[in-house]
Chains A and B, each alone.
Chain A
Amino acid sequence: MAGFDGTRPIFLQLAEMLEEGIISGAFPEEGQIPSITEYSAALKINPATALKGINLLVDEGLVYKKRGVGMFVSTGARSKLLARRRESFYSERVLPVAREAKALGLTSGELAELTARAYEEKE
């Protein structure tokens, strides 16, 4: 299992991991996610930390609790996350790339060419 970056709060990293899982479809909507105990043991993280991380998603309505059963991904969680990602895509991804391109002396046209090429790249 992937390790955590020790310099950022673990609960935030766990929340991001869960969001990533929902976006990728690893955790489908209305599917059950692992319990606090499972997360704690598998990732070797404090249960209070695991709870705090998962609660971030619960508070946003992305995940809901069924008493005595467990936690499930809400219907619509994936599209909600995708919409949010698109909003932050410009500021968090595009802007830093453009700045870096400028620092490297690439013109806006050259950057556009590179993006077009990357878009066509097979995964």
Chain B
Amino acid sequence: MAIELKGVTKRYGATTALDKVSVSFGGGIVYGLLGANGAGKTTMMNVITNRIFADSGEVLIDGERAPGSDRALGKVYMMAEANLFPDSMKVEPAFRLTRSFYPGFDMDYALSVAKRFELPLKKKVKSLSTGYASIFRLTLALAVGTPYDIFDEPVLGLDAQHRDLFYRLLMERAADTEQTVILSTHLIQEAASLISHAVIIHSGRILRDMDTAALTGAAYQVSGPAAAVDAYCAGRHVLNANSLGGLKTACVEGEPEGEAPAGLEFAGMDLQDYFISLMNEADRREAK
């Protein structure tokens, strides 16, 4: 049971937004879909939800080809950026409209989430502030109850307190339901503990598709005097390096063998450090 992309390619003119992408999402876990702006995240999510068609390759939802199958597409919800409701519609009727499309939508839960965020039910959806428009959309996505649930930049415009509340609610949902969640976000530091599997995309290609702990465990930082760091790094795969005066820090792929040589220090990497190093390396390769 999974969403499967098999060799999906999508081009816009000379730009290849997705380049033979094969990846799957399933198993009731929380995925992080990570990538820079323009990497292909939104194109990928739009292909999954059939909003745009792939030029080649296929999308399967629980083994069924997604395009043309309402049953397959009904299993996937995507927290949309665009507002799909009539201009005059208020928040509560918009909940009911969503339920009419997604029978698994939990109205009581949606109302309780709205209450915790103090989302005004009687206000027109169109007149909500940026933050509350996000809250409205994430409330729908939390309550929708589809087997696959996609959150695209869910915390856009949310203050720290509301982001905190959203993360708690998302984890509570993840623990209590069998949903497979795809969380697309630029706030990697905040999302790092929420996701258990990271899919990293760059220039339309999947760079990494791995368990988060395994991913960050497969690289480390070495720092110390520049010459010593350079000597250590010779023959090793360096993702990225930064210098500050005579000191240097390099991000190295692999696991450190034993203790650090004298004068050098090893440190682990968090997901955001790892992501940035990987992106820098990928950009350098592309520039060549």
Contacts and interface: CB of A to CB of B under 8 A. Distances in A.
Nearest to B211: A48
Interface residues of A, number: 20
Contacts of B268: 7-8
B111 interface: no
A44 B168 contact: yes
Residue among B30, B164, B213, B216 facing the most chain A CB atoms (10 A cut-off): B213
A40 B193 CA distance: 10
Nearest to A45: B193
B169 to A, nearest CB: 7
Contacts of B189: 6
B168 to A, nearest CB: 5
A47 B164 CA distance: 16
Interface string B92-106: 000000000000000
Dominant SS at the A interface?
helix
Contact of B171 (A4, A6, A8, A41): A41
Nearest to B217: A9
Contacts of A41: 168-169, 171-172, 175
B217 A49 contact: no
B193 A49 contact: yes
A51 to B, nearest CB: 9
B174 interface: yes
Nearest to A8: B268
B144 to A, nearest CB: 19
B159 interface: no
B269 interface: yes
A46 B168 contact: no
A113 to B, nearest CB: 30
Given A6-B189, A6-B272, A7-B216, A46 B171 contact: yes
A36 B30 CA distance: 15
A113 B266 CA distance: 33
Interface in A33-78: 36-37, 40-50
Contact of A47 (B175, B192, B271, B273): B175
A23 interface: no
B271 A6 contact: yes
Given A4-B193, A7-B267, A9-B213, A45 B272 contact: no
A11 B270 CA distance: 14
Interface of B: 29-30, 164, 167-169, 171-172, 174-176, 189, 192-196, 213, 216-217, 267-273
Interface of A: 4, 6-11, 36-37, 40-50
